[in-house]
């Protein structure tokens, strides 16, 4: 599975989005189901997929799909490490 697939799966699973949803456009400000519970589920899903541990400030920064990529880049796991 590619990194893109892994991250998209993590978003679909974490935020409980249907397969048809374009997760690259997912933003916490506009997505109703992106509440605190979904947020923590998303964090856990990303951590499991990429075997990383997000810091408290990264938890807060994780507000969109591009933000997730920036965080994974900082951890050196994006693109393929």
Partner 1 sequence: MPDRGFLQSLDISPAAPAVFDGNTDLWLTRAELTRRVTDFAARIEFPRKALGFVFVYNDAESLIAYLAALQAGHAVAPLNPQLDEAFIARLTSLFQPDFIAGPPSLPRQPGYREAESPHSGQVLLRSATPNRHAIHPDLSLLLSTSGSTGSPKMVRLSWRNLESNARQIIQALRHTSQDRTILTAPIFNGYGQSVVHTMLLAGGSLALTRARVISGEFWDTARAAECNTIGGTPFFYQTLDRLDLNSLDVPRITKFVQIGGRMPPHLATKFHAIAQARGGELHLMYGQAEATARISGLPPELLPEACGSIGFVLPGGQLWIEREGRECADMEEGELIYRGPNVMMGYAMCPDDLAKDDEQGGVVATGDLGHRDGRGLFYVTGRRSRFVKLHGWRVSLDEVEQLLAHAAPVATVNDGERLVIYAERPGAAFADAVRQLAQRLNLHPSGFEIREIDAIPRLASGKVDYQYLRAVARLAITR
Binding site for partner 1 (CB under 8 A): 16, 18, 28, 32-33, 35-41, 43, 56-57, 59-60, 63
Nearer to partner 1, 37 or 79 (CB): 37
Shortest distance, CB of residue 11 to partner 1, whole angstroms?
A: 13
> What is the phi/psi pair of residue 36, to 5°?
-65, -35
Q: 3-class SS at 27?
A: strand
Compute the half-sphere exposure of residue 49: CA atoms within 13 Å on the CB side of its CA: 25
Nearer to partner 1, 60 or 79 (CB): 60
């Amino acid at each position: 599975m590619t990194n893109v697939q892994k991250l998209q799966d993590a978003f679909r699973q974490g935020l409980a989005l249907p397969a048809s949803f374009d997760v690259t456009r997912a933003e916490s400000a506009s997505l109703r189901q992106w509440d605190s519970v979904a947020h923590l589920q998303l964090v856990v899903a990303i951590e499991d997929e990429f075997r990383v541990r997000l810091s408290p400030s990264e938890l807060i920064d994780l507000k969109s799909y591009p933000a997730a990529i920036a965080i994974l880049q900082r951890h050196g796991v994006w693109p393929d490490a």
